[in-house]
Amino acid sequence: MNRDRAVEAFRLEAGQLARAMTEVSEAEWRLPARCEPWKVCDLLAHVRVVIAWLPDMLTVPAPVRAEVSAAEYYRPDDRFAPEGNATRTALAQAHAAEHVSGTVLVEDFEATCQRVDRLCRAGRTRGRRPGKATSVRRKPGRSA
């Protein structure tokens, strides 16, 4: 997938998620989600928190070389242990709690996604993930 298609897919998917979330009532935002221990508002807050990391990753200079591959970065280790999951859950719950309503959370999500979209369209699409620099191995003949 080329960069323009990836950025367009991100924009469309983020927009679709935001539109779907505008249909959630204020009472539904506090309901438990199917993915325990999350509530509906926590899940959107989690996605928003992760997307919010992207601008910083996109604005730092790209590393000279990757230290690990994407597959190695996502290997099972303590980051995905119960303690790491509890940290991610707590971060999302804290972010969700900062918003007075689901509507405000959706607006924050949309603004964050639009900021990332602008950075990507401006051409700054290589950076690093939190932690170590990574590489994504592409199939030969495929563009970035």
Map out the domains of the chain as residue ranges: 3-125
pTM (two decimals): 0.74
Q: What is the CA radius of gyration of the chain?
A: 17
The one-digit pLDDT tens for each residue of the chain (144 residues) are 577 888 899 999 999 999 999 999 999 999 999 988 899 999 999 999 999 988 777 777 777 887 888 888 888 888 788 888 899 999 999 999 999 999 999 999 999 999 999 888 887 544 444 444 444 333 333 333
What are the structure tokens assigned to 133, written together? 């620099």
The string of DSSP letters for 25-80 reads -HHHHTSBPSSTT-BHHHHHHHHHHHHHHHHHHHHSPPPSS-SEEHHHHTSSSGGG
Which residues contact residue 7 at a Cβ distance below 8 angstroms, ignoring those fewer than 6 apart? 117, 120, 121, 125
